[in-house]
């Protein structure tokens, strides 16, 4: 067993680490304060530099201009990118575009590839994914209300969505809508591409996350669809395949998120350790001399290392044996890593005192905007239930 990163990806990891230090971290504070949409020029410049350095799109297939990395390699890259809230965006690896790109690549028609996939891969346009509805439980998406009624060669879409991340400024939405109301729970819905300039498509608002509505890519919108008409050829994959595609989208997506969260942990851990070794609490002693602080440092290190190994093992299993073999591992990392991340952030805030709750460090941003990690892509409780049921089923057959 080799715990070193694969030889092939080491130069890329080193180059990304250096790029973040030299170009991204210095402008991070400015972008967070101005907002994403307002910082478009700075972000475009950074993306151009990433492309010039040959580092664009780590997870994007080579034929589309990316690096075409496998899941383990991309996981390691994602960890590096997670060291800054701008990392994934600047390198063209950001959700929800990464997930949309994957499903467009697999299920899109030639025309859909030309119109949506290729410009998405080049970073020329952005997209969003609209599944969750305020009136229905996102944890049970078979209860969707949004309808796409077939009229000749068109779908007519009516519905209400929310928490559509990055809808602000997106060129198209991938919308999950019921196309066959009478069919079984998992074959009722389809995924349909809706250009955001289609009449009847309405972005109601960017929802405030604990007071911050965000903008551009860093936002979550409420949407309404009023008799939105799109050609049937805008459907992604076969009719009724919405849930199958959604599951495929979420599998690798959870690995990407978890490794990004490890990157968040590492950034927060560095911030914590730097602070406690500098902050004096008496004339000659810093915070780092206190046992409770030392215990938190050791605990955080152990938890981050454990979480990291779990994610890499899950990614390795998917790469080698396919997603079905990794189902339990993926549920385990989804709730475990999110929990570790929130605890590490919380302890770092505590040790920064009042400074910890300001926006003068990256901690406040992470605290507000990463809390959703325990809710999206399956809330903690659902993943725990899934894992426990599978484990216990193995004991139930015993004599
Ligand atoms: C930051 C963020 C970004 C998001 N981005 C997107 C996006 O881009 N596109 C999109 O479509 N959606 C997005 N979502 C929505 C997300 O997918 C849903 O919030 C999630 O599926 C949970 O659905 P819900 O909010 O309706 O909660 P509910 O389904 O109402 O559940 C509420 C709570 O009940 C508990 N619970 C639920 N089911 C069970 C159970 N079986 N057993 C025990 N407890 C249970 C859990 O604690 C859960 O958090 C995003 C959410 C967040 C927070």
Domain harbouring 299, CATH code: 1.20.140.10
Q: What is the pLDDT of residue 122?
A: 98
Residue 41's pLDDT band (cuts 50, 70, 90): very high
Six-digit token string for 312: 């890499």
Looking at the structure, do residues 92 and 156 belong to the same domain, yes or no?
Answer: no
Q: Is residue 120 part of a domain?
A: no
Least confident of 77-91, 126-140, 310-324: 310-324
pTM for the structure as a whole:
0.96
Q: Is residue 113 part of a domain?
A: no
- The average confidence (pLDDT) of the chain is 96
* Pocket of ligand 1 contains residue 220 by CB under 6 Å: yes
Instruction: Give the CA distances from residue 246 to residues 165, 187, 241, 361, 388, in Å, rounded to whole numbers and listed in that order.
Output: 16, 12, 9, 36, 23
Q: Is residue 232 part of a domain?
A: yes
Looking at the structure, do residues 205 and 265 belong to the same domain, yes or no?
Answer: no
Mean pLDDT of 243-272: 92
Scanning the chain, the segments in alpha helix (DSSP H) are 10-19, 25-34, 40-52, 71-81, 87-90, 97-107, 110-112, 118-121, 242-278, 291-321, 327-352, 363-369, 380-396
Q: How far is the CA of 375 from the centre of ligand 1 (A)?
A: 5
Q: Is residue 112 part of a domain?
A: no
* Pocket of ligand 1 contains residue 143 by CB under 6 Å: no
Mean pLDDT of 188-193: 98
Looking at the structure, do residues 137 and 11 belong to the same domain, yes or no?
Answer: no
Query: Helix, strand, or coil here: 222?
Result: strand
Residue 397's pLDDT band (cuts 50, 70, 90): confident
Round to whole Å and give the CA distance between 110 and 131. 24
Closest CA to ligand 1's atom 22: 138
* Pocket of ligand 1 contains residue 210 by CB under 6 Å: no
Looking at the structure, do residues 264 and 143 belong to the same domain, yes or no?
Answer: no
Q: How far is the CA of 286 from the centre of ligand 1 (A)?
A: 42
Looking at the structure, do residues 249 and 361 belong to the same domain, yes or no?
Answer: yes
In the chain, the number of structural domains is 3
Closest CA to ligand 1's atom 45: 381
What pLDDT, in 10s, does the model give residues 77-105? 999 999 999 999 999 999 999 999 999 99
Q: Is residue 109 part of a domain?
A: no
Looking at the structure, do residues 249 and 350 belong to the same domain, yes or no?
Answer: yes
Contact 128, 170 (CB under 8 A): yes
- Name the residue range of residue 193's domain: 127-236
Looking at the structure, do residues 16 and 49 belong to the same domain, yes or no?
Answer: yes
Q: What is the pLDDT of residue 1?
A: 76
Q: What is the pLDDT of residue 248?
A: 82
Q: Is residue 122 part of a domain?
A: no
């Amino acid at each position: 067993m080799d715990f070193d990163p694969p030889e092939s990806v080491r130069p890329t990891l080193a180059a990304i680490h250096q790029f973040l230090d030299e170009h991204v971290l210095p402008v991070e504070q400015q972008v967070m304060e101005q907002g994403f949409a307002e910082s478009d020029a700075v972000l475009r410049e950074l993306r151009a530099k990433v492309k010039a350095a040959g580092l664009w799109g780590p997870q994007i297939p080579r034929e589309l201009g990316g690096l075409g990395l496998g899941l383990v390699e991309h996981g390691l890259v994602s960890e590096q990118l997670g060291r800054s809230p701008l990392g994934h965006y600047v390198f063209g690896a950001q959700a929800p575009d990464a997930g949309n790109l994957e499903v467009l690549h697999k299920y899109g028609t030639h025309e859909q590839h030309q119109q949506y996939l290729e410009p998405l891969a080049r970073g020329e346009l952005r997209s969003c994914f609209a599944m969750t509805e305020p009136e229905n439980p996102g944890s049970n998406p078979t209860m969707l209300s949004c309808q796409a009624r077939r009229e000749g060669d068109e779908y007519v879409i009516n519905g209400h969505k929310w928490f559509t991340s990055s809808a602000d400024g997106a060129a198209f939405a991938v919308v999950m809508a019921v196309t066959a109301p009478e069919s079984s729970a998992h074959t009722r819905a389809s995924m349909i591409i809706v250009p955001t300039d289609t009449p009847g498509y309405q972005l109601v608002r960017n929802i405030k996350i604990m007071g911050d509505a965000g903008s551009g890519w860093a936002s979550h919108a409420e949407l309404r669809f009023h008799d939105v008409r799109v050609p049937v050829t805008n459907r992604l994959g076969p009719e009724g395949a919405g849930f199958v595609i959604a599951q495929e989208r979420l599998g690798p997506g959870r690995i990407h998120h978890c490794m990004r969260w490890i990157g968040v942990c590492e950034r927060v851990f560095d911030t914590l350790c730097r602070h406690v070794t500098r902050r004096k609490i008496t004339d000659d002693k810093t915070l780092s001399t206190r046992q409770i602080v030392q215990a938190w440092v050791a605990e955080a290190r152990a938890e981050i290392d454990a979480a990291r190994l779990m994610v890499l093992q899950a990614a390795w299993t998917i790469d080698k044996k396919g997603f079905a073999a990794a189902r339990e591992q993926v549920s385990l990392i989804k709730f475990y890593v999110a929990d570790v991340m929130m605890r590490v952030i919380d302890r770092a805030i505590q040790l920064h005192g009042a400074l910890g709750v300001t926006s003068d460090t990256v901690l406040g941003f992470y605290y507000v905007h990463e809390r959703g990690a325990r809710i999206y892509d399956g809330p903690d409780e659902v993943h725990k239930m899934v894992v426990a049921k599978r484990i216990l089923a193995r004991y139930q057959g015993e004599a």
